[in-house]
Structure 1
């Protein structure tokens, strides 16, 4: 299926593909509750619905929410897509699987309070000075949303420190491991930010490729 995308909505890239592959390896029972955080075009939410899950999607962008709803309609599946700040719209909910591809690119202007810009080009990718502003919020909030036996799959750049994600999720009581890695050439955003990242010592002087990782956390019953 070719996914429709409104202007300004995140374009599915290598991180989306890597997370989708990791999701395909997970068991999803019919009727399982699956949450896609930062849904963008709704690729992952639609994939979950196609596997007979009860699919939920959240994004801070109204256009992303509308895009996801339209793509679900085109695919002939049901996805409940809502607009809101990260996990806030689903506070109090419980899920069997949570998928997350949050903004994680380091930027010189902090994402204040871990909240991404609601407007402007950085909304889709700006992750704060070390790329972890939203990642850390997710790590704190995800464990309480998982049912016993539930799983979270989170993708981000190795620039953000996968070991920090592992430790943060372990602190929340999850059993955690890095289950997938892929090295890719810098895209336009990372190329644009690379001079500043080099100045900050986040990447090496000659680095032009990024390692993406999927971190898997499980709430053991």
Structure 2
């Protein structure tokens, strides 16, 4: 299905925190349309501002736990949870920390997935778009995706589901294959084309030079992948 989320106002975030963008919007919309959060125990990995975790609570989740490795993000997400009056517990840590309290009925994640050249100096970008660790994910964009996919089965309860958003440039087919190899039933559930933001605009020439972007194209496809544990 194609989808575009229009009924949500992104919060203004603190410096050093990833501001919700189209990928967060798409993930929230798919979660809402599928009704997967309602009455369920939910974990939001790489929570950033906490917007997806708060949306899960608003959509009727029985319990929501959010995780991020950035202390700034955790502090800000906790402030947003209080302001929203949402029932969300925000923790400092990765999915390894989440696994200590799992398994979960639903795991949602908007991880770092933007490819970059680790050997090249990166151009200076506006500070309001957040820290590079929120998007930089190695040469192929899979520095976080690969270990996350390998760990997902252990995070999910029997009958549980994962929803994950990523860019075409991090090779969704590899995500599907990695999830399938761990025994999960995976598919692309939704997609949306969006214009390049500052990060991809700064890397467009490099993506062209490495054969991942057609010359002159300045838009990317975001996808939401669903994986189910029998």
TM-score normalized by the length of structure 1: 0.90
Give deviations 1:150-193, integer Å, cap 9, x for gaps: 00001000111111111110111111110101001000011011
Structure 1 partner of 2:149:
139
Confirm whether residue 163 of structure 1 aligns to residue 170 of structure 2.
Answer: no
Whether the aligned pair in 2 keeps the contact of 1:4 and 1:71 (CA below 8 Å) is: no
Q: Secondary structure at the match of 2:97?
A: helix
Q: CA deviation at 1:4?
A: 4.8
Greater mean alpha carbon deviation, residues 195-204 or residues 165-174: 195-204
Q: Secondary structure at the match of 1:184?
A: strand
Structure 2 partner of 1:197:
207
Structure 2 partner of 1:70:
79
Q: CA deviation at 1:23?
A: 0.7
Structure 2 partner of 1:115:
none
Structure 2 partner of 1:128:
138
Which aligned pairs between 1:174-193 and structure 2 lie closer than 5 A? 174-193=184-203
Q: CA deviation at 1:52?
A: 3.6
Alignment partner for residue 38 of structure 1, among 43, 46, 58?
46
Quote the Cα distance in structure 1 between the aligned partners of 2:12 and 2:207.
33
Q: CA deviation at 1:2?
A: 6.0
Structure 2 partner of 1:90:
98
Alignment partner for residue 18 of structure 2, among 2, 6, 10?
10
Structure 1 partner of 2:125:
none
Alignment partner for residue 28 of structure 2, among 14, 17, 20?
20
Q: Which runs of 4+ in 1 moved over 2 A?
A: 1-4, 26-30
Give deviations 1:36-92, integer Å, cap 9, x for gaps: 1111111111111221431111111111111111111011122111112x3121124
Q: Secondary structure at the match of 2:136?
A: coil
Q: How many residues align?
A: 209
Q: CA RMSD in A?
A: 1.6
Unpaired runs of 5+ in structure 1? 111-119
Whether the aligned pair in 2 keeps the contact of 1:4 and 1:67 (CA below 8 Å) is: no
Quote the Cα distance in structure 2 between the aligned partners of 1:87 and 1:206.
37
Confirm whether residue 209 of structure 1 aligns to residue 219 of structure 2.
Answer: yes
Q: Secondary structure at the match of 2:13?
A: coil
Quote the Cα distance in structure 2 between the aligned partners of 1:105 and 1:52.
30
Quote the Cα distance in structure 1 between the aligned partners of 2:158 and 2:185.
12
Quote the Cα distance in structure 2 between the aligned partners of 1:49 and 1:171.
31
Quote the Cα distance in structure 1 between the aligned partners of 2:16 and 2:115.
20
Structure 1 partner of 2:67:
58
Quote the Cα distance in structure 2 between the aligned partners of 1:4 and 1:189.
19
